[in-house]
Amino acid sequence: MKLFQKIEVWAREFVAIEIIILIILVFIGLYENYQNYSYSKSTRIGDEWVDENGTTIPINGFPDVENVNFYSINYTFQQTDANQVLALRARHVFLDIYVDDVLVSSDKEIQGNLFCSTTGNRWHFIPLGKHDTPVTVHIDATLAFDSSRCAINRIYTGSYQEVTRAVIVPLLGTYLASFVLFIVGLILFFSYIFLKRKLPMGRDIIYLSISTMLITAWTTMESLFLQFLFGYTEFFQLCTYLSLIAIPLPIGLLAYYRLQKKGKLFAGIYVALSILNVPITCILHLTGISNFHDQLTITHILLGLMVPLLALLIKSYLADEITKKHKKTLFALLLTTSICIIIGLGGYILDFFADSAIMALVAVTCLNIFLLLYNFNVFMDMYRKGLEADFVHELALRDYMTNLYNRTGFAEHQSTYNRLINHKTPLGVLQFDLNNLKTVNDTLGHDQGDLLISSFAACLTASFVGKGNCYRMGGDEFLVILNGQDPEKDYRIGIDALRQYCDDYNHTVGISYCMEAAHGFVLSQGMPLAEAMAMADAKMYETKKMLKQEKALNE
């Protein structure tokens, strides 16, 4: 047996080592592949674009020139392969792209959309085809607004496979992280909906799940991965901006739910502004009066005000007795959330951090961990209190001397027995009366009488263990309810075991009295429990009477 246990341990250790080795090999393979893979000599371009006068134009941040919102730029390829493509990302810029004076892509249709077109990021993929002579790509760029934030960046050229890999690899991590967190938010949402009556979950879970889904919906669209797969659609841009402007609302509701007094007032005003921001922004955009992006200032202000809200939330959570043991961890998580919001928002506004979506994902991850850890502690605290209450309740149902159930315990179990009787389930009812207790108390003292009671209770428990419940109904009166599959069989086995226990006890050295009990048994099949107990009690007294008569004859 020990050999098999050792083999099992060795097998588990071998599998664990094998998994670790596989993981290490995968990372080594990815690293080697990354080191050895070359897109092409002209994979990334961007500094060689010139205007019609031959002047170099920094398109990764167009010059902020007054009254200039249009640039006409060119780039010449010496030659191209048959499957060569050009991929570029336009940021707040509408493009018309020509290859050798042939229009191949235009944002004019997007600008003429029924809705006011968004000015976010979009990818353009241009097949260049095979050429033996130099090819000129000409771009007419219309800036959405006068700002150096308008740009054409992440420009790649090469084979379709090379460009696809160059574009997807940076986007895939953000997309997968966003997708996983969105699923987490969805699970939390439905967990609260369906389990809130069974588990002690605060409303902060529902606000957490909604904010998680909104943030990850925004970062999913912001990653441009879906756009790469399906092409640009106004729908993706609308989803991106709608998710972004709605993010402050669940955070505000969370603060309103948690905070008190002045903090609650601040949170209430914040929620009101967040609610107004969504319909006003949507109406202005959909009617074509103003673009989503032009109205993001209010959203940025609300996102900035989220930091003091989180500071007040930190104070409220850490003041809770439940979080006493985890204050440092919870403080670090909320502090990280706040810092990520500051860096992401500040970097976006000041243009020193390119991918604010990463900061948003880190922030929402920390917030998820924080609130889940907090609610787990709430659950464990209530569970501990519940266990303590159950323990006290269980003590009230037990007889202190014998640890058998008492009359209160029987009264609590009676509804279960009645339900079984109503379904015609057979129950065995056993009434016991302990003999000689008065004689032992009078001649040997109450200590020996108590010992006789507790010893008989132990024998009774051992005889009918797993077959039903044992009760001490009074001084020397005991009851056993047999609720197994075959109560009659359990009775025969149990009563034989009890007789043997009593016989062994009576032969114990130092015992000057005899432990014996009269009993009566009734099998109830649909019979009311009180009636069955009365019949068993009558049989028990008949047996007791017979024992006394036999004892008198023997004397």
Q: What tens digit of pLDDT does each residue of 263-286 get?
A: 888 888 999 998 998 888 888 877
The pTM (predicted TM-score) of the whole model is 0.57
Ramachandran quadrant class, 404 (left: phi over 0; alpha: psi -120 to 50; beta: rest)? beta
DSSP state of 52: T
Confidence of residue 226 (pLDDT cuts 50, 70, 90): confident
Rounded CA gap, 130 and 179, in Å?
38
Chain mean pLDDT for the chain: 78
Rounded CA gap, 520 and 501, in Å?
18
**Tell me, what CATH number does 441's domain have?**
3.30.70.270
Q: Give the pLDDT score at 385.
A: 60
* 203 shares its domain with 299: yes
In 115-173, where do the E strands start and end?
121-127, 135-143, 151-159
* 252 shares its domain with 339: yes
Read off the pLDDT of each residue in 456-477 and give the average, rounded to a whole number.
89
Rounded CA gap, 137 and 418, in Å?
88
Q: Domain count for the chain, please give it.
A: 3
> Regarding predicted confidence, which is higher, 291 or 240?
240
pLDDT digits (tens, 9 = 90+) for 119-142: 667 788 888 877 778 888 898 988
Domain that holds residue 329: 166-389
Q: How many residues does the chain have?
A: 555
In 466-507, where do the E strands start and end?
468-472, 477-482
* 147 shares its domain with 248: no
> Regarding predicted confidence, which is higher, 102 or 27?
102
Read off the pLDDT of each residue in 448-471 and give the average, rounded to a whole number.
89
Domain contains 27: no
Of 106, 141, 164, at which residue does a domain stop? 164
* 359 shares its domain with 347: yes
Confidence of residue 445 (pLDDT cuts 50, 70, 90): confident
CA-to-CA dists, residue 89 to 151, 223, 367, angstroms: 8, 12, 32
Q: Which of 84, 158, 159, 149 is nearest to 121 (CA)?
A: 149
- Residues forming a β-bridge with 470: 480
Read off the pLDDT of each residue in 63-76 and give the average, rounded to a whole number.
83
Domain contains 109: yes
Domain contains 32: no
For residue 112, pLDDT over 50 is answered with no
pLDDT digits (tens, 9 = 90+) for 392-412: 666 788 888 888 889 888 888
pLDDT digits (tens, 9 = 90+) for 14-61: 666 766 776 676 566 555 555 444 434 345 666 678 888 888 888 877
Confidence of residue 375 (pLDDT cuts 50, 70, 90): low
- Residue 83 near residue 159 (C-beta atoms within 8 A): yes
For residue 309, pLDDT over 70 is answered with yes
Domain contains 18: no
> Regarding predicted confidence, which is higher, 366 or 75?
75
Percent of the chain at pLDDT above 70?
75
Of 148, 164, 180, at which residue does a domain stop? 164
Helix axes 296-318, 327-350, angle to 10 degrees: 170
**Tell me, what CATH number does 263's domain have?**
1.20.1070
The least confident of 68-72, 312-316, 456-460 is 312-316
Q: Give the pLDDT score at 478.
A: 92
> Regarding predicted confidence, which is higher, 393 or 2?
393
* 417 shares its domain with 371: no
* 100 shares its domain with 186: no
H or E stretch at 104: strand 102-106
